[in-house]
Structures are given as C-alpha cells and as structure tokens.
Structure 1
Amino acid sequence: MSTRHSGPRPRKANPDDPPVQRPPVGPRGPIPGPNFLGLEGRIAIVQAQVFLLAMIVIAQLWLVTDALYELLSGRTADLGWLALASGAIFALALLITFWPRRRIEGS
C-alpha cells in the first residue's frame, strides 16, 4: 500500500486548515502584510494588562482568604460585602482584559 497521494491536492496535516495564499508580489518581490501585532504601544498595553490582572488575582486571593476566615469563625455579617467586592473586582478584571483592544480600520 502506497503512502503517497497521487491526486491533484497535496495531503494536509489538518484538513480543516484554510487555504494558504501567496502574498502579493510587487516589482521588488513579495509585499509584506501589515504587522498589527507590532503596533506602537501594544507591548506596553499588554504589560500593563498583565500587571493589573496579577494585582487583581492577589486581591481576589486575599478576599477569598478573608471570607473563609469569617465563615469558619462564625461571623457571617461581612460575607455579603466580601462577595460584592469580589464580583466588582471580577468585573474590573474582565474590563481590563477585553477593553483596550485596538480596532483595525476597514474590518
């Protein structure tokens, strides 16, 4: 049994991959596409996001620790406020994660 494919299409490692097209060719060779990942300031934005989310994770861990301490000691009066603060911080984390996306014009 032969492992070579004799049809007009070459075999793909993943058949669900989209078709690959060659880049447009100009008078000096291939024209590079826009580098949206390397836009100015993008690295600083991502670094700030990572730093702020790390601080939020630390705050969430502190809130969970405090809530468990309050629950196990029998003082349940502050649990609602701790849950509310945790939910607000979670919403802030979602905002920090998804809001500062740079929009690409024309798409």
Structure 2
Amino acid sequence: MNTHNSVPRVRKANPDDPTVRRPPIGSRGPMPGPNFLGLEGRIAIVQAQVFLLAIIVIAQLWLVTDALYELLSGRTANLGWLTIASGVTFALALLITFWPRRRIEGH
C-alpha cells in the first residue's frame, strides 16, 4: 500500500461527464428532479404529431413497396412520380416533427 500519495482518486468512465449531485432531501425523502410542466394542450399536440407521423410512415411503406414492384416488373414510367411523392411525404414528416415545437416553445 502506497501511503506517500494517499489522495483518493475517483475513477470515471468518461472524464468529461458532469458531476452527479444527489437530489434534494425533503420531508418525505428525496425530492424529484426539476418539474418541467408542459404548456396546456402540449400532450394533444404531441399525440397528433405521433398519429400523423404514423400515417406518413404507412404511406411511405406503401410508396416504397409500389416503387419496388414497378421497378422489378420493368415498368419504370411511374418511378419518378413515386419518388416525388415519397420526397413530399418526407418533407411533410419533417414539417410535422419540428414546426409545432418551435411555435409552442417560442424559439
């Protein structure tokens, strides 16, 4: 045992990690973390986003299936339109995902 340098070293898996602090202790024990209350109606907006994105994913799967069928059957006339429709639904999915968050949180 080396007593010359007896400074305790705390080993960390990642030295860049922030220090972990214990939660504040209340009358009934440890208190929960910060209470991030959502804005009124936020749950309904998130549920609508999830529903619309599920519909878009189903449409994307149908478009990809149809495009593969057309490609493998040798009929390539509709592939351009299917690609454009897939791109439009992808852009719509991005819009649904990011636009309401910025409007509600005021960013």
Q: Give the TM-score range, shorter chain.
A: 0.5 to 0.7
Equivalent residue, structure 2, for 1:27: none
1:69 aligns with 2:69: yes
Equivalent residue, structure 1, for 2:36: 35
Where in structure 2 are there 5+ consecutive unaligned residues? 22-32
- In 1, distance between residues paired with 2:91 and 2:68? 21
Equivalent residue, structure 2, for 1:103: 105
Q: What code does the residue aligned with 2:44 have? A: A
Deviations along 1:14-59, one digit per CA (max 9) or x if unpaired, are 54344678xxxxxxxxxx96624x2211111111111000000000
1:88 aligns with 2:88: yes
- In 1, distance between residues paired with 2:12 and 2:40? 36
Equivalent residue, structure 2, for 1:28: none
Q: CA RMSD in A?
A: 3.2
Local SS of the residue matching 1:99? helix
Shift of 1:73: 1.1
Aligned residues: 94
1:48 aligns with 2:53: no
Deviations along 1:41-96, one digit per CA (max 9) or x if unpaired, are 11111111110000000000000111111111111000000000000000000000
Normalising by structure 2, we get a TM-score of: 0.67
Q: What code does the residue aligned with 2:91 have? A: A
Normalising by structure 1, we get a TM-score of: 0.67
Q: Percent identity?
A: 76
- In 1, distance between residues paired with 2:42 and 2:15? 33
Q: What code does the residue aligned with 2:99 have? A: W
